[in-house]
Chains A and B, each alone.
Chain A
Amino acid sequence: MSLIERARAASAGADMPTGTTAPAQAAPSWRISRPRRTRKSTPLDIATVVVVALIVLAAAIGPLIAPDVHSSHIADALLPPSAGHWFGTDQQGRDVFWRVVVGARESLTAGVIIVIGYSLLGLVIASLTIVGPRWFRELVTRFIDLGLAFPSLVFALGVAAALGPSLATACVALIVTGWPLTARLLQGIMKEVVTSPFVEGARVLGVSRTRLIVRHVLPNSLPVLWVKWAGDIGNTVLVLGALSFVGAGAQPPSAEWGAMVSSAQSIVSHAWWAALFPGLAIAVTTAAFGLLGDLLHLRSNPADGKGR
């Protein structure tokens, strides 16, 4: 066969007689195709879900079923762990176990609020990367890059100083510093969507950017966002705890875990339990939610499981 014939064959697209495959159903919105395969649940997965469920349970009903954790019983101060007090008591005589359980609610609700807050903020800022002139879009991108690098803890200290330290101001600070990661993620998806041929066609027809975002970007982002949110809640609880520890978040006598660790710091040498268990609660919560996020990720991308 000569070159010309081959050229014609190439342009006609007749490569191999593989027969026609049925055209894909016209989907209501364009999907970034991902392979779908399920993965078997391991014992670790089950354990993770159980732990997360327990934590959520503690947050939901903990304060309702717990005995009084706020008033002091100096007589019972600094008792080591025992049958009566599973985690011992602190210097005010309060039962550490129940304080830890009650503290779950503060940490978790704050965590959820913060994650929702910065996700919305991240969405708005990410949307800015597809509107406006090029220099503007590049500026926003650069802004996101730098926002990513700035430590939220430091800024949160600043906000706490300005507005007075409390769990609420910590939430504000973390929302203001938490958006870059979400923005970066959404920016990537938006770019993919906006440059896809399907969407370019729609744009020619005059589809507005808002519609694009709602109908195309959001559905495509949700799978990734779920994964991120799970891990984020854990991480946020961690940072909140750190903030409370340095005095920029929840203040004592709050049962917030970081604040508990902070108050117990001075007595740790003879009452290690008062510092150990609240901190352990933070570590376990962060790890459990992190593993949950990882597990969600593996469920939709089992291929990653092989090479992890």
Chain B
Amino acid sequence: MIARVTPVLFLVARKLVGALLTLFFLATVVFFLTKLTPGDEARVVAGPDASPAEVEAVRDRLGLSGTLLQQYLNYLGRLVHGDLGTATSSQGSVSSAVLGVLPGTTQLVVVALLITVTVAVPLAVRSAVRSSGAGDGLRRVLVIVAAGMPTFWLAIMLQNLIASDWHVLPISGDVAVGIRIPTITGFTLVDALLGGSPVAFWDVAAHLVLPAIVLAIPFIGQLFRILRAELMRVLHRDHITVALAAGVSPPGVLWRNAIPQIVNPALLILGAEFGGMFGGAILVESVFGRNGLGAYMTNALAQKDTASVLGGVLAVGVIVVATSLVVDTVQIIRDPRVRAEQLGARG
């Protein structure tokens, strides 16, 4: 029926439903978290001098009145409209605040991802082709050590070193004082370019270097290890031998027969790392004094602004789910076997 007419759309729609259900589940969990906060939020917002009537009015406004079920439905309703609630401290809209800080973090994550790919992929290819032999033990150790590096600590140490000994790169902030960047897209790198100021562009970039590298390190280790293992598995497959027996040169076999096989796993991992990097970005922003979702959430935490923190959690949830959806869709489009497998016998 539908599946035969447009298999791609059908599969993507199925993934979409799964994604929405997961978001729904996440929202429910977050709702229960808000209910667990001790204290009466309405009273806190209304202020210590408010009359009971005023407090009730605030309670209604915040959607905190009524039974649990009513509150839940009210909450879901607001979420669908993109309303993430009100910040306890500033009374501002959490949604607009989150949207304001999101580009900064996203930019950092994207740059870190680029660094990860640029470093990990060539290393993984080289390492898989050489395979065996000396350096095996060393490589194992290096990868595990890199994966276990507390990035926040590394960041602090690096900052310290650079500040005191090597004055090469800026160690904190997003941009030097005095440089103005127009707000066009919200992504400062892009805006600097669009605004026509190369100086601003390089400044923003310079401020991104250290944080992005620090953020990328554990992910480089992870990507390297998995790509290498995958590539080695592929290199042992029969069709590689067949291509070699057919006279294709070894480099040709590597680039045309082997590496295309690992693009899909690579995309999967990158998609997952994209989400994971948002977690790492929280640490990195904190250490490097950058603006972004991480700083927003940690500040909110310190001020006991539960609504803002949870709004951030939901925002990240949406990003993760959306990324996962995109990666799945790309896979479905790229690999005819994935389509066949998912449509056909499963389970």
Given a CB threshold of 8 Å, the question of whether A touches B is answered with yes
A209 at the interface (CB under 8 A from B): no
B110 at the interface (CB under 8 A from A): no
B150 at the interface (CB under 8 A from A): yes
A10 at the interface (CB under 8 A from B): no
B82 at the interface (CB under 8 A from A): no
- Shortest Cβ distance from B144 into A: residue: A290
B132 at the interface (CB under 8 A from A): yes
Nearest CB of chain A from residue B123's CB, rounded to whole Å: 14
- How many residues on chain A are close to B (CB under 8 Å)? 58
Given contacts A157-B312, A283-B145, A272 and B160 within 8 Å (CB-CB): yes
Task: Tell whether, in the assembled complex, residue B302 and residue A149 are in contact, meaning their CB atoms are under 8 Å apart.
Answer: no
Task: Tell whether, in the assembled complex, residue A306 and residue B320 are in contact, meaning their CB atoms are under 8 Å apart.
Answer: no
A-B contacts at CB below 8 angstroms, number: 185
| In the bound complex, CA of A234 to CA of B144 (Å) | 11
B57 at the interface (CB under 8 A from A): no
Task: Tell whether, in the assembled complex, residue B279 and residue A247 are in contact, meaning their CB atoms are under 8 Å apart.
Answer: no
Task: Tell whether, in the assembled complex, residue A158 and residue B310 are in contact, meaning their CB atoms are under 8 Å apart.
Answer: yes
Task: Tell whether, in the assembled complex, residue A308 and residue B320 are in contact, meaning their CB atoms are under 8 Å apart.
Answer: no
- Shortest Cβ distance from B317 into A: residue: A150
Binds B, one of A50-58, A113-121, A133-141: A133-141
Binds B, one of A19-27, A66-74, A86-94, A159-167: A159-167
Task: Tell whether, in the assembled complex, residue B321 and residue A162 are in contact, meaning their CB atoms are under 8 Å apart.
Answer: no
Task: Tell whether, in the assembled complex, residue A268 and residue B156 are in contact, meaning their CB atoms are under 8 Å apart.
Answer: yes
Q: Which residues of B contact A164 (CB under 8 A)?
A: 38
Partner of B148, one of A44, A245, A283: A283
A212 at the interface (CB under 8 A from B): no
Task: Tell whether, in the assembled complex, residue B18 and residue A283 are in contact, meaning their CB atoms are under 8 Å apart.
Answer: no
Main secondary structure of the interface of B (DSSP, over half): helix
Encode contact with B along A142-165: 1 for CB under 8 Å, 0 otherwise.
Answer: 110110111111110111111111
A238 at the interface (CB under 8 A from B): yes
A65 at the interface (CB under 8 A from B): no
Partner of B306, one of A139, A161, A280: A161
| In the bound complex, CA of A98 to CA of B28 (Å) | 44
Task: Tell whether, in the assembled complex, residue A151 and residue B18 are in contact, meaning their CB atoms are under 8 Å apart.
Answer: no
Task: Tell whether, in the assembled complex, residue A268 and residue B279 are in contact, meaning their CB atoms are under 8 Å apart.
Answer: no
Given contacts A146-B320, A290-B144, A162 and B157 within 8 Å (CB-CB): no
Q: Which residues of A contact B306 (CB under 8 A)?
A: 161-162
| In the bound complex, CA of A308 to CA of B131 (Å) | 7
Binds A, one of B89-97, B207-215, B293-301: B293-301
Given contacts A146-B320, A161-B304, A154 and B312 within 8 Å (CB-CB): yes
- Shortest Cβ distance from B218 into A: residue: A238
Given contacts A162-B34, A286-B148, A248 and B272 within 8 Å (CB-CB): no
- Those of B307-321 within 8 Å (CB) of chain A: 309-310, 312-313, 316-317, 320-321
B347 at the interface (CB under 8 A from A): yes
Encode contact with B along A270-286: 1 for CB under 8 Å, 0 otherwise.
Answer: 00100110111011001
Q: Which residues of B contact A308 (CB under 8 A)?
A: 136, 139-140
Nearest CB of chain B from residue A1's CB, rounded to whole Å: 29
A255 at the interface (CB under 8 A from B): no
Encode contact with B along A30-70: 1 for CB under 8 Å, 0 otherwise.
Answer: 00000000000010100000000000000000000000000
Given contacts A134-B346, A307-B232, A290 and B156 within 8 Å (CB-CB): no
Task: Tell whether, in the assembled complex, residue B157 and residue A151 are in contact, meaning their CB atoms are under 8 Å apart.
Answer: no
Given contacts A142-B22, A165-B301, A234 and B157 within 8 Å (CB-CB): no
Partner of B153, one of A137, A161, A275: A275
Binds A, one of B69-77, B181-189, B191-199, B280-288: B280-288
Interface centre among A137, A157, A164 (most CB of B within 10 A): A157
| In the bound complex, CA of A278 to CA of B153 (Å) | 9
Q: Which residues of A contact B141 (CB under 8 A)?
A: 44, 287, 291
| In the bound complex, CA of A64 to CA of B139 (Å) | 38
Binding site for A on B (CB under 8 A): 15, 18-19, 21-22, 25-26, 30, 33-34, 36-38, 131-132, 136-137, 139-141, 144-145, 147-154, 156-157, 159-160, 163-164, 232, 271-272, 275-280, 282-283, 286-287, 297-298, 300-302, 304-306, 309-310, 312-313, 316-317, 320-321, 323-324, 346-347
Binding site for B on A (CB under 8 A): 42, 44, 134, 137-139, 142-143, 145-146, 148-155, 157-165, 234-235, 238, 241-242, 245-248, 258, 261, 265, 268-269, 272, 275-276, 278-280, 282-283, 286-287, 290-291, 294, 305-308
Instruction: List 14 extra interface pairs beyond A42-B137, A150-B320, A161-B301, CB under 8 A.
Output: A139-B18, A149-B276, A150-B316, A151-B276, A151-B278, A155-B313, A163-B33, A242-B151, A261-B153, A278-B153, A283-B153, A286-B150, A306-B131, A308-B139
Q: Which 10 A-B pairs have the closest CB atoms?
A: A279-B153, A151-B279, A286-B148, A153-B279, A161-B309, A142-B18, A158-B313, A162-B33, A290-B144, A161-B306
Would you give 9 A-B contacts (Cβ < 8 Å), ordered by A? A153-B280, A158-B309, A160-B301, A161-B300, A238-B150, A242-B151, A246-B301, A275-B153, A276-B157
